Structure 1
Amino acid sequence: MALESYLSQAKNYASELKLNAIKADLDETIMDAEKNNLSYAEFLCRLLQKEYDIRHYNLTQSRIKNACFPYKKYFEDLDISALPDDAQNKLKHLSSLKFIDEGQNVILSGNPGTGKTHIAISLGIKACLEGYKVFFTTVPLFITQLKELKSSRSLRAFQNKLAKYDLVILDEFGYISSDKEGAELLFTNISIRTGLKSTIITTNLSFDRWNEILGDPIMTAALTDRLTHKSFIINMNGSSYRL
């Protein structure tokens, strides 16, 4: 059988098996193998590596897209020296992502503009790059979503999905107060993850002011207790990072 026929068959097999990278690069890989006198094992390894690399890249981009980040921020973009001292001291450990493996929470608390959301997003994107499943939303949007799901009787399915995320990032806690229903839904759905999976919360309020948002001292105390158990609390009070 002629080489062209073998190549055609190989591409058909690759197409049927959905090995698109192998199909696209087969001619080039064969030419490279002949030029460099590669062994069969080296040739096969390079061929499979191309397929692996493109699939790994596509999966990573899919995780970042599905996480719903409002924009992309990376650790490389952070000016660490401009962050509050507590963030500088704890950032190295957080960037290792060990807190995700251990189901620990992270609370970034401080005045506006000090880099809370930037740190949260950069941790989330790093987690996506390393294979973790991440979900990002703001607390006001999260509460609205939970109410809509409850009204449509589809909240249970979402809760099952929420419990499977390795990391959930809830941004902007404290900017808009919630009614009783919203506070209860927020409490319930954060509690689902407590002690099992990691949650990052950014807030401009100190803990003693969380009752202003939730409107229930008992619920506030319970939520604070659950969130701060096994958590990293980072003091983000300082000069504006944005400026």
Structure 2
Amino acid sequence: MSKPKDWIEDITNFSKDLKLPIIRQCFQEQIKESSQKDASYEEFLALLLQKEWDYRQETAQYNRIRRAEFPYKKHLEDLLISELPEDAQKKYKQLRTLEFIKEGGNLILAGSPGTGKSHMAIGLGMKACEEGYKVWFTTVPLLINQLKECRSEKTLRAFQNRFEKYDLVIADEMGYISFDKEGAELLFTHLSLRAGQKSTIITTNLSFERWEEIFQDPVMTAAMIDRLTHQAYLVNMNGNSYRMKQTKEWLETQKLM
């Protein structure tokens, strides 16, 4: 008959081989706690498994956020809702449900600089990661450069396969830099791959009427707008810059010092 210490050693070895690190770390403590309150075997096992499950959920969430490549971490809770443009305030509650991702719909945040477009996009992306969605953040200029590099290195197909599988792609800063015909065509092709299937968030400082300035092709511009806005959530982000407001408040505090 095995001695108690032999069982302890077996549990340690089995949990190590089965890659159950939290069970390996916690089972002896859980044995003591369960013995003290005379818990059933079922309760003991369930609590031990829950600790392992919680750990794996936290690790998976951490990895999703890391792989999303956000430039910085911003949560929706960090937003000052009262400082957002009026249209964003009205649609905030609906957007934070992430229904648009479940529907495979797009979200266009269009408006003047400093009104919270990137913060809201990143906040929604962070929440999506927390809820189990696969997310990737990029800027439009960086995306175009990456697409060109993949084409020249003949790895474009592999990139396309990854790009299509993200539940949410955030393409920030549409309109800050114009691009050539090759860049426009690559961007159009890849964003079109996701249309109606997976969600894309676009942030832009230009109204749709001015998108031709960056695509430099009226036909492609019209087609891009049509693909991106079909059954999409459109949010008017024109308003006062809260970033400028914060800067002014900071300057005022410096005068008082």
Identify the TM-score tier after normalising by the shorter chain.
over 0.9
- Tell me how far 1:241 sits from its aligned partner: 2.2
Q: What letter matches 1:56 in structure 2? A: Q
Aligned match of 1:50: 51
Aligned match of 2:181: 180
How far apart in 2 are the matches of 1:34 and 1:241?
57
How far apart in 2 are the matches of 1:56 and 1:95?
21
Aligned match of 1:164: 165
CA RMSD of aligned residues (A): 0.6
Determine helix, strand or coil for the equivalent of 1:172: strand
Aligned match of 1:20: 21
Aligned match of 1:69: 70
Q: What letter matches 1:114 in structure 2? A: T
Matched, 1:80 2:89: no
How far apart in 1 are the matches of 2:223 and 2:38?
67
The within-5 A match list for 1:31-42 is 31-42=32-43
Unaligned runs of 5+ in 2: 246-257
How far apart in 2 are the matches of 1:122 and 1:45?
34
Aligned match of 2:192: 191
Determine helix, strand or coil for the equivalent of 2:240: coil
Aligned match of 1:117: 118
- Tell me how far 1:27 sits from its aligned partner: 1.2
Q: What letter matches 2:89 in structure 1? A: Q
Aligned match of 2:103: 102
- Tell me how far 1:35 sits from its aligned partner: 1.2
Aligned match of 1:89: 90
Aligned match of 2:140: 139
1:33-83 Cα distance to aligned partner (Å, 9 max, x none)? 111111000000000000000000000000000000000000110110000
Determine helix, strand or coil for the equivalent of 1:41: helix
Determine helix, strand or coil for the equivalent of 2:172: strand
Work out the number of aligned pairs and report it. 243
- Tell me how far 1:12 sits from its aligned partner: 0.3
Determine helix, strand or coil for the equivalent of 2:137: strand
Q: What letter matches 1:134 in structure 2? A: V
Moved over 3 A (4+): none
Determine helix, strand or coil for the equivalent of 2:194: coil
1:142-195 Cα distance to aligned partner (Å, 9 max, x none)? 000000000000001110111110000000000010010000000000000001
How far apart in 2 are the matches of 1:208 and 1:76?
33
1:101-159 Cα distance to aligned partner (Å, 9 max, x none)? 10110000000000000000000000000000001000000000000000000001110
How far apart in 1 are the matches of 2:190 and 2:66?
23
1:198-240 Cα distance to aligned partner (Å, 9 max, x none)? 0000000000000111111100000000000010110000011
Q: What letter matches 2:95 in structure 1? A: L
Q: What letter matches 1:69 in structure 2? A: F
Aligned match of 2:224: 223
Unaligned runs of 5+ in 1: none
Determine helix, strand or coil for the equivalent of 2:26: helix
